Amino acid sequence: MQQEDKLQQYLQQGILGTPELKREERQQYLGQFRERVLKIMRQNELRDPRYIDGMIKAFDDPRAYRLYIRTDEQLQGTLEFSKLTRAAQSKKLPFSFVDRATYQGDIAIVLVAEDAVDEVGIEIKISDLPLAFYQHLGKTICKDCYEKIQKEFPVYEGKFKKAGFWQKLFGYQCPIEEEHRGTT
Ligand SMILES: [Zn+2]
């Protein structure tokens, strides 16, 4: 190859990226270019309401343009899944399903902008509250669990109610089962 041609090629790759790389990138992001991606969800995050809620929150981003969902028989029909699609519908965010077998990697959902945004943090940041507690936000929990929240996650203290005398008297069952394994 001529020196000049080589230079031309470098320049082009610098601007557009190598075609091969772009193809692989699109494979990973369900057919979308990385530069348009706002948020992603991975396969193992789909059943965790903390991630689902994080994604739904991202729908409010004014740049949110379309949602791509990789089809998964196991996911369809689940509570989390309908919560996600209902939220997209109510926020008038169009979504498309893509064939599971066509793409590689563990990315299951991609939220994109209309144009290139080069978003850096595309992973969903979740609440540090353990899942068992997160699933019961707003509920009445036992004294021990309540004290754990006060001590370890004080910002969430107002999000729970502490079981009182009467509840205990009538055989109150704390909903945070993970905290009571083997004790009940
Ligand atoms: Zn408890």
The CATH number of residue 40's host domain is: 3.30.1330.30
Distance 142 CA to ligand 1 centre (A): 4
88 plus 135 within the same structural domain: no
Tally of structural domains, the chain: 2
CA 155 / ligand 1 centre spacing (Å): 18
96 and 135 together in one domain = no
Q: Look at residue 162 and tell me if it is in a domain.
A: yes
For residues 107 and 137, membership in a common domain is answered with: no
Q: How far is the CA of 140 from the centre of ligand 1 (A)?
A: 9
Is residue 163 assigned to a domain? yes
Predicted local distance difference test score (pLDDT) of residue 31: 92
What integer pLDDT is reported at residue 11 of this predicted model? 61
Residues 93, 151: one domain? no
Compare 74 and 91 and report the one with higher pLDDT.
91
119 part of a folded domain = no
Query: How do beta strands 64-70 and 95-98 pair?
Result: parallel
Distance of CA 63 to the CA centre of its chain: 17
Residue 118 lies in a domain: no
Whole-number Å distance between alpha carbons of 49 and 79: 9
Q: What is the structure's pLDDT at 26?
A: 82
Neighbours of ion ligand 1 (CB under 5 A): 142, 145, 174, 176, 179
pLDDT in tens, 140-179: 999 999 999 999 999 999 999 999 877 777 778 899 988 8
**Helix 79-90 vs helix 49-58: angle between axes, to the nearest 10 degrees?**
10
Distance, CA 127 to ligand 1 centroid (Å)? 20
Contact 132, 163 (CB under 8 A): no
What tens digit of pLDDT does each residue of 1-55 get? 556 676 666 666 665 566 777 777 788 899 999 999 999 999 889 889 999 999 9
pLDDT tens for each residue of 128-138: 899 999 999 99
Average pLDDT over residues 84-98: 95
Note down the domain range covering 160. 131-180
Asked whether residue 97 is domain-assigned, the answer is yes
